[in-house]
């Protein structure tokens, strides 16, 4: 059975890694759209930046429920799922975009990407809710 008694510090350490997340939002017909996104864990919630014209923005405006999964794709397969609601923050989404670009692309490439997208309208999403974590390290065969 997977280890589930994972501490808040272990979760924060896991989420410091630049693992691509999967964001789930609800379409008008109730089906789910799964989208890869960059993420930042902060104060018990997930920060994500998207383009203001992105279909995900329309989904969230209509139905703020969402889930985010972040996980390893190599054994022993640890990960987290955050289920809850999305708030669109009145904050500088370009600064979050810059931090995420640097985190995922490295300093130089991240800065260049951030500058090349500075003219685009961005939204800062904050996903808050219930966290579930798993870790198969104790049962994965050596």
Q: What is the pLDDT of residues 93-122, one digit of tens each?
A: 999 999 999 999 999 999 999 999 999 999
Domain residue ranges in the chain: 8-134
N-terminal to C-terminal alpha carbon distance within the chain:
16
Percent of the chain whose pLDDT exceeds 70: 95
* Neighbouring residues of 37: CB distance < 8 A, sequence distance ≥ 6: 20, 21, 22, 23, 48, 50, 68
**pLDDT higher than threshold 80 for residue 5:** no
CATH of domain 8-134: 2.30.110.10
Lowest mean pLDDT among 54-58, 89-93, 106-110: 89-93
**pLDDT higher than threshold 70 for residue 65:** yes
**pLDDT higher than threshold 90 for residue 3:** no
Looking at residue 35, its pLDDT comes to 98
Looking at residue 67, its pLDDT comes to 98
Looking at residue 31, its pLDDT comes to 97
Half-sphere exposure of residue 138: CA atoms within 13 angstroms, side-chain side: 8
**pLDDT higher than threshold 90 for residue 41:** yes
Edge-to-edge strand ranges of the sheet holding 45-51: 32-37, 21-26, 65-71, 79-89, 122-134, 45-51, 40-42
**pLDDT higher than threshold 70 for residue 64:** yes
């Amino acid at each position: 059975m997977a280890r589930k008694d994972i501490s808040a510090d272990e979760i924060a350490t896991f989420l410091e890694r630049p693992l691509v997340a999967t964001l789930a939002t609800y379409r008008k017909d109730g089906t789910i759209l799964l989208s890869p996104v960059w993420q930042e864990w902060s104060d018990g919630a997930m920060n994500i930046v998207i383009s203001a014209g992105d279909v995900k923005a329309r989904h969230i405006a209509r139905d703020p429920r969402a889930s985010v999964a972040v996980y390893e794709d190599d054994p022993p397969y640890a990960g987290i799922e955050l289920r809850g609601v999305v708030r669109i923050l009145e904050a500088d989404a370009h600064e979050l975009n810059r931090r995420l670009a640097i985190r995922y692309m490295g300093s130089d490439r991240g800065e260049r990407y951030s500058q090349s997208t500075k003219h685009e309208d961005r939204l800062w999403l904050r996903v808050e809710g219930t966290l579930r974590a798993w870790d198969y390290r104790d049962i994965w065969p050596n």
